[in-house]
Every structure is written in C-alpha cells, then in structure tokens.
Chain A
Amino acid sequence: MGITFDFADVLTGPPARWLLSGFLTTVYVTIAGSVLASVVAVILMGLRISPGRIGHYAAAAFVEVFRDTPVLVQLLIWYFAVWGLLPESLRGFVAEDHPRAVWPVNVIVLAPEFLCAAWGLGLFISVFLEEELRAGLNAVPAGQREAAMAQGLSNWQTLRFVLLPQALTNAWQPLVGQYLNLMKTSSLATGIGLAELTSAARRIESYNAHALEAFAVGTVLYLGLGVAMGQLLLFAGPRRPGAKAADKPLAVAPMRKAGHAV
C-alpha cells in the first residue's frame, strides 16, 4: 500500500501543455507586474521625499492602503469590482480577439485576468519596493547630500546622481526579495481566473487525480524560476564599488570626533 508516483501522466499530453502555458503566464505576469511596480515605486519615492506636503501625505496614504490590506482581496476588487466600472468600449475592446496580443505559448495578454493581475500585483509590490528603497536612501550618509548641495546640484540632481544610486546599492538585496515576492504572490491570481502555474497544477489534479505529481512539478518550476530570477537580478544589479573594499561600508566616513561644534 505504498505511494506510487506517476509523473508521466503529468508531463505528457494536455497536462504538460497546461503546465507550460501556466508557467509562461506566471513569467509574463511577473515581468509585467515588476515593471509597473518599479515605475510606481519611483513615483512614490519622489512624492515621499519632495518638500510638498500634499504629495508627501498622498504617497503615505497610498503605501498604507496597499500594505495593510490582503493582496488577494486587492486582486478580487480589481477584477470583480473595478473592472466592471471601466467604460464599456474599453472592456469590449479587450474582450475581442487580438491575435497579436497572444504571447508564446498561447498566453493571451490582452485579457482582463492578465491585466488585472499585473496591475494588482504591480501596485501591491510597488509599496514594498518603495519602502526598501527609502530605507536604502536613509542609509546614505547625510554628508553625501551636503556635498552635492554645496557643489550646486539641485534637489533633483542630488537625488538622481548622488543619493539614488547609493540607495539602490544599499537596498538591492531586499529589492530582489520583493521582486521574488511578486513572483510568488502571482499564484493568488488563480482566484481571478488567471491560468497561471498554480491553476494549471490544480487543473491537472482535477483532470487525472495526480495531485502529488502535479503540485510537485509546479513547486519545482516555481523554485527554478525563483532561483533564476534571483541570480539574474543580483548579477545585473549595482555592486559596491572598489573590489578590495568589499567589506567596507559604502561611504568611508570617519566618526565625528566628540565635542566638535556644529
């Protein structure tokens, strides 16, 4: 009465097609969501550190809303509530056949499920990206900003050429973690009908009852995707400059001697 594994039934025929399609859907929605999340995170950062009060509070409110509500609820709201509020012409356009909006393999990108999933995931993760980036920014020594100001760089130039690059380097590890989070969270989009990897595994389970094999393969695919993503992002990301100084903090700033006046 042992447990027998039958992977053949999961890796051939329709189940294999569903797995491939689902896996690629996960990849595409992760990419789309990550791009959106990055853009929104930068905008949020800009608002947060701008001198204007309104922008500051708007960004803070945005962060609270998306950080304190469950992402599944957010996805359900986008798909089952907000989508219905869009103008009929837009919804009709999306519902039509768009052969060019089909990515390999048979993944329809211009569909409410995909759009709402990418949108919802993107907004959700954007606030975490922004918080990590802000933490990275706060870790940049104040002297960097002073030096830039003293040289005549504007606020924006200081941010762009001096502070953000260092913030990014400080925050890169946690930022990569957040992009991986987006990839994992994409499995919740099965609740709004997106035919991604988790839903493919479930479909196989109800098709031929090979639950263990289906979910095992799904897990391996998620794991592989995560490892690949992590390595790629770390490789492509900013490194701490000065190979010899790998263990030193980013800005070499000796401690202010006690008692020196302001």
Chain B
Amino acid sequence: MAIVPMTTRYAGSQTHIGGSAADDAASASLTPAIEFRDVYKSFGSLHVLRGINLAIAPGDVVAVCGPSGSGKSTLIRLINHLETVTRGEIFINGVPTATLRGRPLQQLRTEIGFVFQQFNLYAHLNAEDNVSLALRKVRGVSNEKARQRAAKLLDRVGLADKARQYPAELSGGQQQRVAIARALATDPKIVLFDEPTSALDPEMTGEVLHVMQGLAKSGITMMVVTHEMSFAREVADRVIFLDAGVILEQAAPADFFNAPVNPRVRRFLKQLLSPLSPG
C-alpha cells in the first residue's frame, strides 16, 4: 500500500509521511480513490475543517482519529455529500464531485458505502430488505436477485440466520453488521465508517471489528473514523490525526503509535493509553 507524497502547506504543523520508497515508486501514478484538495468546511461562523489535503489510494485502509470536535465525522461526510464543502475540491477516482446533483450524485453514492455510528437501519424493514432496498430501487435489480445478494452479504457478516429479523429484534452488534452488509449491497469500492463501534457495548465491538478486518483484506478502500486503537494498529495501513480541523500527523500505524512526531499527538496517545495518569 502506498501513499502519494504530500507537501506541507500550513504553518505550525508538520506532516509525517511514511511508507516504503519502493511502494511509492510503483503506485505514484495511480489515481487516488479519494482526494481532498485544500478543502475548507464551515457551519456558519464555525470553521470545522481548514485546508485539508489528503489522498487515499485504492485499497487503502485509513483510520482517522483525534479529539472531539476535530472535524473527523465532517471529513468523511463530505465525501458522499452528506455535507458539502465550503471551499476546495474533493475527487473520487479523479472525478471532481462538487457539482454533482440528482442522478449523478445518486450514482456516486451507490459507489460509496457509509456506515453510521447509530446504525440507522431502516426500522420498518427486516435485515434482508434493509440490505436489498438500494439494489432494488436505485440499481433496479430484480427482487429475486437482490434477495440472493442480500443473503450472501448477510452470510458474509455472519448473520445468515437473521435475514427475516427486524432491527428492533437484533442486538447493537448485529445491527451494525447488518448495516455493513447494507453498505456493501451495491458493491462499492469505497466504504466509509463514522465511529462504527462507539455506540456499542464493549462485548459487541469485537464482532464488528472482525467484519471490518475481513473487509480490509478484500481490497476495498476504507476510511474509518474511530477510537478503537486496536483496529488502527492492526488493520489500518495509515493513521491520520485530526485536530481542530487540521491534519496534524499521518503515518503508518507502527510509526504513529511508537514514534509520533507531533507533540499534540503524543499527548493524545498518552491520554488514550493511560487515561488516569496525570496530564
């Protein structure tokens, strides 16, 4: 997995770029799956993202972490237009997305899966229908084919026997796994995760993380906003640290966790790993 080299554009912070040189050379010419160019996002007078420059290669698994209010969720929500950029450009597979509306935007969204912190499963549909809805209505797939695909995906996340159950009858972990299956229904090459395990009881985080791990191995580009450092360490190819709307550090997990450059990152990690020690 390689990373396109980046330049430092803003004062007061540094970027730490990792990855092997050989990989760089091999894939320097690959179009990034996702690319942010100088992206700013504000809600009224509240500046949430400032000058984000980011490129993610196809197949990369990127973990995004940082303190609350850093703009992590906003970052990924911009990708499928759940929010819109205030300034700057986002490219998906080299195609600018800012001006997309209507049909083309719907098409784009079918190519990007999204998994929410609160699952957001369609409460009035059972698991199978949840997974197959977009297939049937947006892609126009026949009911039977859609059902088969849904069954396959539910099997993949380990819930084949829950196809007819309603979200209200499933545990949090099960719901999130159905949500992941749903996100995969239209066979997207990019899947975004917005704190997928933050709303789960600790016992259920494991089952979801396992599914995500399986996904990572399959070559899908993943961008995961998370606090689960174990996932970042073991599954991600790259970890991005966001603070106050600015990327402070980007590195491979080994470098990020063992030798972070940015003092702010160091503080964050210390807090995370031993929250009770004095500050």
Using a CB–CB cutoff of 8 Å, the interface residues on chain A facing chain B are 141, 143-144, 146-154, 157, 161-162, 165-166, 169, 238, 240-242, 244-245, 248, 250-254, 256-257, 259-262
Contacts and interface: CB of A to CB of B under 8 A. Distances in A.
A261 to B, nearest CB: 4
B74 A261 contact: yes
Instruction: Choose among A147, A241, A259 the residue with the greatest number of B CB atoms under 10 Å from its CB.
Output: A147
Given A143-B116, A245-B169, A251-B121, 4 more contacts: A143-B118, A153-B138, A241-B124, A256-B118
Nearest to A160: B137
B106 A154 contact: yes
Contact of A151 (B165, B166, B182): B182
30 contacts: A141-B118, A141-B120, A146-B82, A146-B120, A147-B116, A147-B121, A147-B122, A150-B80, A150-B109, A150-B116, A151-B109, A151-B110, A151-B134, A151-B186, A152-B107, A161-B133, A166-B124, A241-B126, A242-B169, A250-B123, A251-B123, A252-B121, A252-B167, A253-B119, A254-B199, A259-B69, A260-B117, A261-B48, A262-B43, A262-B48
Contact of A150 (B69, B82, B107, B195): B82
B87 to A, nearest CB: 18
B73 interface: yes
Contacts of A152: 105-110, 134, 138, 186
A169 B124 contact: yes
B168 interface: yes
A244 B169 contact: yes
Nearest to A165: B124
B167 A251 contact: yes
Interface in B122-157: 122-126, 133-134, 137-138
Contacts of A166: 123-124
Interface of A is mostly: loop
A133 B126 CA distance: 23
A161 to B, nearest CB: 6
A157 B109 contact: no
Given A151-B138, A242-B168, A260-B195, A144 B123 contact: yes
A147 B82 CA distance: 10
B72 interface: yes
Contacts of A244: 168-169
B117 A256 contact: yes
Interface of B: 43, 48, 68-74, 80, 82, 102, 105-110, 112, 114, 116-126, 133-134, 137-138, 165-169, 172, 175, 182, 185-186, 195, 198-199
B114 A150 contact: yes
Contacts of B169: 242, 244-245
A262 B73 CA distance: 6
A46 to B, nearest CB: 18
Nearest to B125: A241
Contacts of A257: 198-199
B231 to A, nearest CB: 17
B188 to A, nearest CB: 10
Contacts of B175: 252
A93 B137 CA distance: 45
A147 B120 contact: yes
Given A251-B123, A252-B167, A151 B133 contact: yes
Contact of B72 (A154, A248, A261): A261
Contacts of B124: 165-166, 169, 238, 241, 250
A253 B82 contact: no
B119 A252 contact: yes
A153 B106 contact: yes
A245 B133 CA distance: 22
A157 B186 CA distance: 16
Contacts of B80: 150
Contacts of B125: 241
Nearest to A150: B114
Nearest to B70: A261
Contacts of A262: 43, 48, 71, 73-74
A212 B199 CA distance: 64
A77 to B, nearest CB: 41
Contacts of A254: 118, 172, 199
B73 A260 contact: yes
Q: Nearest 5 CB-CB pairs, A to B?
A: A245-B168, A152-B109, A242-B166, A147-B120, A143-B120
Contacts of B118: 141, 143, 253-254, 256
Contacts of B198: 257, 260
Contacts of A261: 48, 68-74
A241 B170 CA distance: 12
A244 B171 CA distance: 13
A69 B182 CA distance: 48
Given A143-B120, A166-B124, A169-B124, A149 B68 contact: no
Nearest to A258: B68
Contacts of A259: 68-69
